[in-house]
A and B are shown apart, each in its own frame.
Chain A
Amino acid sequence: MPFDVDYHAIAPELIVGTTVLVVLSIDLFLSPTRKWWAMPLSFLGVVAALVVELTLIGQERTSFTGSYVSDGFAVLFKTFFLSVALVVLALSLRYFRDGRYYQGEYYFLILSSFLGMLTISSSRDLLMLFISLELVSAPGFLMAGFRKRDPRSNEAALKFFLIGILSTAVMLYGMSLVYGVTGVLRLDEIAQQLAGEASGVEVAAVLFVVAGFAFKVSSVPFHFWAPDTYEGSPVPVAAFLSVASKAAGFAGLIQLMFFGFAPLAAFWAPVFAVLSILTMSIGNLVALQQRQVVRLLAYSSIAQAGYMLLPFALAGVSPAVDEQAVRAAVFYILVYAIMNLGAFAVVVAVARESPGVLVSDFAGMARRAPALAVAMLMFFISLAGIPPTPGFWGKFFIFQAAIAADQVWLAVVMVVNSVISVWYYFSVVRPMFFVEPAEVRPFRAPALVTAVVALAGVAVLAVGVFPDLLAKLPPAVTLP
């Protein structure tokens, strides 16, 4: 078998990989006041990768004997990850520069993680998936501990690391079982091997693999790390973990479940139903009691993961429903990224003057920074799923898929959950608008952060009124 490499297809990865090395080495030669140069450098690298990625739209390319492909799904997710990278970099600049953290190392780590996300989108075999997933996770462990003089940051990193490697171990065990049973690594070949009578080992192996991804997407019962880790991490890292790293988990999970393990859907779909319900319910109920906004957003993002897991519970009914479920999940991931990054951008701005970011720190925001407050309101009503916002359409498509699969009860559980979620989102909205600030002094946000908020706000409005803008994007979900 020839060892084929399509250099055009992997050019974005190569560019990001080169940038990673350049950023790390150039940091050695920069004086402390110029360490922040790593950020524009990283930014340029990502933009270049994004441009190259856009040239791959509409093409089907494979490398490494089918283990690594660049199809519609991969291009969509890579474009998405690269865009998210730009946003996270924009949020990071002032935070890390003004906070005197290690900047060169940070940009090196975060780019490495995004490199993992690029490869996870293209991976079509177990080994590649595993390596990519670890490439996403490992820098995260370090970044969570970046505020190293704060014990909470240390705890954040340690908890993240311990739960992370535990679930990795379980997942790896599952993968080895899959390989042992089927003798192949490529997802399409696994699907062929698994077709037919299912054995206990196969089902167990699949469930072990699911456990590893459940950690990644912060699904119950592997969610315990998320609130502590988000709270202790630098805020841009929390934004990164809650959006990019979660989306990477879902990108891998969609590949694995709907392609590789599709023949066993009858066994794992009910598992996802349970995971989804538990995740959204526990996330929402615990979020009700939060007084710290990053923790609140952490539980909110757990609940949101529950919504995104729901389409997996609909698998295996019919190819049409599978297709609809995947589209609903992908669409939700995209809109979740927009609204959650927007919300985190506002938190980054607030954290500059009140590092504790308590709900009470948002008091009187409407007076001090009306535009920012209105933007936050939009992100929150979108997260709560009230029309006309992208979050509503995301839920709409999931409900639609659930009803198409005749699983109305799942939709009902999700509906009740979204009503509950309004309460805690509005517990932040309330002080922003209804409480007078202690002192009315103007609120200053860094230009890049403001730009991110504005961009996310415009995107929320546009997609809210014309959901077709994003809903038409996932075209290339070709299921086996």
Chain B
Amino acid sequence: MDWFDSWAITLAVFLPAVGAVVVTVVPRDRDRLVRALGILFTGAALVVGILMLFGYDFSAPGAFGDGSAARALQFEANLSWISVIDANYHIGIDGVSLPLLELTLLLGFLCMVYTWRWLPEPGRPKAFVALLLILQTGMSGTFIAFDLVLFFVFWELVLVPMYFLIGYWGYPGRREYAAIKFFLYTLFGSVFMLLSFLAMYFRSEPHTFDIIALQQGGFDPTFQNLAFIGLFLGFAIKVPMWPFHTWLPDAHTEAPTVGSVHLAGILLKMGTYGFVRIALPVLPDAARVWAPWIGVLAVIAIVYASLACLAQRDLKRLIAFSSVGHMGFVMLGIATLTDVGINAAIFGMVAHGVITGMLFFLAGSVHERYHTREIAEIGGGMLQKVPFMASILAFTAIASLGLPGLAGFWGEVMALLSSYSPAEGLSVTLFRVLMVFGGIGTILTAGYFLWMLQRVNLGVVPDRWEPKRLADVNAVEWVAWAPLLVGILLLGLVPGLILGITSDAVASLTGLF
């Protein structure tokens, strides 16, 4: 299967883009055909992704360090792209990118399935599906690019589709504000990231944009610290880390359901992935210098987000803020620069993608039934009114607060565990203090989720909903959600599903510190 080896990733990434082109030439009145094509192309990409799992060598190390290890980068392709600047179409996967690529392919497919039944106002399926498909190409491309220029192009490719998804199909009122805020905020960060990329290019000898080659750069510490600032701005805004998070509650809340699922499920991971893939291995000395600061910001995010969640009255906004906290745990894990911490981070990324993606699906479906997202207006009694949906909400929320046995647990507990003994050279005292505050954060997280469940699920059905018939989970929703629900349970019971893939790759990354 030589052919598949070098083209599998390209297929998985660009099939949706091809789908976007196909969709635009379909006549406007063929609504069902357009949605079917969306499912078909994302489904095909997912099939390619699953086939790749069979050809993947799980014992290989990650594409970090000297990169000389055999099959560090799998399904690799390296073609000349822009000769004048030595930018190449260099793609591949290792243990760090594989879980995220698969997550992207899965969520993209499930969102299309969900769209089969429910397309947000004001309709226009062609444009909606085409934008989702382009978005998916951008997201999945980010996780497989091993050339900084290619990485940047994929990274920015998500901006315009997401701008339109929020601005046109979002909830009326603040959607246009949320869309342009998202756009400008992330663009502002990423242009500084681009300058750092260019600076790294000129400091490397010979000049290169290749992420693996740059890891041999051995940049001097002063330069590393400066370049790290640029990368930090780009990645931290995308994550988003406190205090760069202000675009997130607006964007996530105003976006249509599948937009929120993509935002929370995948877009945020682009930032954390950037830290793991580029910032840490290429600028290891700077990473050591900045790690304590990142850790502090991460823990502020955890505590701040959980306090903010306690104050939310809007179901979707609550979930959005909870993302800030969960990404805080991911960043805390990364900041420890240890095996356990970075494994926790990648596990946390996948778990958060599955869980919070699911929560946003639920928020969308609840809004569709109740026509409100206000917790007070829903008023409780959902377990009686729509028992299945309420049970799923309870299950997912409990997974999100980190109950052992479900997916949310491992990422958080390992992140806290790793900050007990951070990497050599980092202040143990500081990280143990961070661990304590992070622990307080988990308690607060449990608090706001349980409180939310109490206000939404339990109690008696308010009078205004009593006479109304509300549909419970329907067939399409079951299909779209079942894989996520199974995933939440499986990842919780068998964390080795992810850790088995990541641990060798992470070991070769932490070997740099």
- Seen from chain A, the residues whose Cβ lies within 8 Å of a Cβ on chain B are 327, 377, 381, 386-388, 392-393, 396-397, 399-400, 403-404, 408, 411-412, 415-416, 418-419, 422-423, 426, 430, 433-434, 466-468, 471-472
Contacts and interface: CB of A to CB of B under 8 A. Distances in A.
Interface in B178-206: 180, 183-184, 187-188, 191-192, 194-195, 198-199, 201-202
Interface string B146-182: 0001001100110110011001100000001000100
Interface string B200-240: 01100000000000000000000000000000000000000
B474 interface: no
Contacts of A415: 191-192, 194-195
A381 B160 contact: yes
A418 to B, nearest CB: 7
Contacts of A403: 195, 198-199, 201-202
B188 A433 contact: no
B184 A471 contact: no
B82 A388 contact: no
B470 interface: no
Contacts of A434: 167-168, 176
Contacts of A393: 82
Nearest to B188: A419
Contacts of A411: 195, 198
B84 interface: yes
Contacts of B187: 386, 419, 422
A243 to B, nearest CB: 23
B85 interface: yes
Contacts of B202: 403-404
A404 B198 CA distance: 9
Contacts of A327: 84
B83 interface: yes
B198 A387 contact: no
Contacts of B176: 430, 434
A387 B180 contact: no
A122 to B, nearest CB: 25
Nearest to B226: A408
B159 A386 contact: yes
Given A422-B184, A430-B176, A472 B84 contact: yes
A408 B83 contact: no
Nearest to A401: B198
Given A386-B160, A434-B176, A419 B195 contact: no
A416 B188 CA distance: 7
Nearest to B155: A387
Contact of B191 (A388, A419, A433): A419
B195 A468 contact: no
Contacts of B160: 377, 381, 386
B270 to A, nearest CB: 15
Contacts of A419: 184, 187-188, 191
Q: Could you tell me the dominant secondary structure of chain B's interface residues?
A: helix
B168 to A, nearest CB: 6
Interface of B: 81-85, 149, 152-153, 156-157, 159-160, 163-164, 167-168, 176, 180, 183-184, 187-188, 191-192, 194-195, 198-199, 201-202
A468 B88 CA distance: 12
A399 B194 contact: yes
A422 B149 CA distance: 21
Given A387-B157, A403-B202, A418 B184 contact: no
B384 to A, nearest CB: 40
Closest 10 CB pairs of A and B: A415-B191, A471-B84, A387-B153, A387-B156, A403-B198, A388-B153, A419-B188, A467-B82, A419-B187, A468-B82
Contacts of B81: 466, 468
A324 to B, nearest CB: 10
Contacts of A377: 160
Contacts of A397: 85
Contacts of B149: 396
Contact of B82 (A412, A430, A471): A471
B98 to A, nearest CB: 25
A423 B164 CA distance: 15
Contacts of B159: 386
Nearest to A400: B198
A418 B187 CA distance: 9
B210 to A, nearest CB: 16
A419 B186 CA distance: 10
B180 A388 contact: no
Most B Cβ at <10 Å: residue of A393, A400, A411, A419: A419
11 contacts: A386-B187, A387-B153, A387-B156, A400-B85, A403-B195, A412-B195, A418-B191, A419-B191, A433-B164, A433-B168, A471-B82
Nearest to A430: B176
A408 B81 CA distance: 26
A282 to B, nearest CB: 20
Given A387-B157, A411-B195, A433-B164, 13 more contacts: A377-B160, A387-B153, A399-B194, A404-B202, A408-B199, A412-B192, A412-B195, A415-B192, A415-B194, A419-B187, A426-B183, A430-B180, A468-B82
Contacts of B85: 396-397, 400, 471
A467 B157 CA distance: 16
Given A386-B159, A434-B167, A468-B84, A423 B180 contact: yes
B318 to A, nearest CB: 27
B171 to A, nearest CB: 14
A386 B154 CA distance: 11
B137 to A, nearest CB: 11
Nearest to B85: A400
A327 B84 CA distance: 10
Nearest to B180: A426
A388 B157 contact: yes
Contacts of B152: 387
Nearest to B160: A381
Contacts of A400: 85, 198, 201
A110 B160 CA distance: 38
A327 B83 CA distance: 14
Contacts of B201: 400, 403
Nearest to A403: B198
B90 to A, nearest CB: 16
Contacts of A433: 164, 167-168
Most A Cβ at <10 Å: residue of B149, B176, B191: B191
Contacts of B156: 386-388, 392
A400 B153 CA distance: 16
A388 B187 CA distance: 14
Nearest to B122: A436
A97 B214 CA distance: 59
A187 B188 CA distance: 42
A396 B85 CA distance: 10
Contacts of A404: 202
Contacts of A426: 163, 180, 183
Contacts of B198: 399-400, 403, 411
A422 B192 contact: no
A408 B83 CA distance: 24
Contacts of A412: 192, 195
Nearest to A385: B191
